[in-house]
Amino acid sequence: MGLRGKTLLVTGASGAIGSAIVRAAKLQGAWVAGTYHTHRPTPQECPADLLEAVDVRLKPSIVQWVAKSLAHNGQIDGLVTAAGNVQDRTCVKMTDAEWDDVLQTHLTGTFHSIQAVLPPMQYHRLGKIITVISQAGIHGRFGQANYAAAKGAILGLTRSVAKELGEWGIEVNAICPGFTPSRMTETAPPEAWERARSASAMGMLGDAEVLANLTLWLLSDECRGITGQIFYADSRIQ
């Protein structure tokens, strides 16, 4: 039951969502490898068995991390791509560097991560991949053209890869959090928080722990035959 004995990889394990997934997976008995970029979390924040500084924009960095993870037992049961960043600015003022960095981190990083785990997953004809998207990628968001474009593209990537991997028994789904308190959102202005609450049918913000529980269910053996889907983890009515 649960994830006991499974090998799980989580990019962005230093963030609110990534670290919550790592903690929940460890409680269920999984062996977990995580990545961070600039902020190394404490063992209490992120009790991963393997925690590496990885730049997901760079393919060799991801490939090396996956290879170290494979050394654990030669198999990867699940991947969660939660690495991300923001560089907010209106479109007219956004620099090429801000656009490129956010697209590379979210979209290219997700692509590199998925591509790196496919050989062992296809060899064993099993595996589950969960990408983390955002309401911004579906509805857009003021001052976040780069972030919204990246998240929307990840959804297209998720559904395309799901079509390709179904014959291998590999499931690929996306989770879509609401506006969740984290280091990425802590600099958001008060009106952004208020808009998020107002858009919610229950007047609630996103909850990383709830999102982690949803993610672990999708990764578990109890969840079978579901692929290419978006799972919303908030109370915004679409």
Active site residues: 147
User: Using an 8 Å Cβ cutoff, are 175 and 233 in contact?
Assistant: yes
Instruction: Give the CA count within 13 Å in the CB-facing half-sphere of 125.
Output: 3
Residue 50: which of 27, 75, 67, 74 has the closest Cα? 67
Instruction: Read off the tokens for 37.
Output: 């970029």
In SS3 terms, 117-163 reads as HHHHHHHHCCEEEEEECCCHHHHCCCCEHHHHHHHHHHHHHHHHHHH
CA distance 231 to 69: 27
User: Using an 8 Å Cβ cutoff, are 160 and 185 in contact?
Assistant: no
Backbone angles phi, psi at 177, to 5 degrees: -75, 160
Residue that has been written with the tokens 């593209």 in this structure: 153
SS3 (DSSP) at 236: strand
**CA 166 to chain CA mean position, Å:** 20
**CA 220 to chain CA mean position, Å:** 16
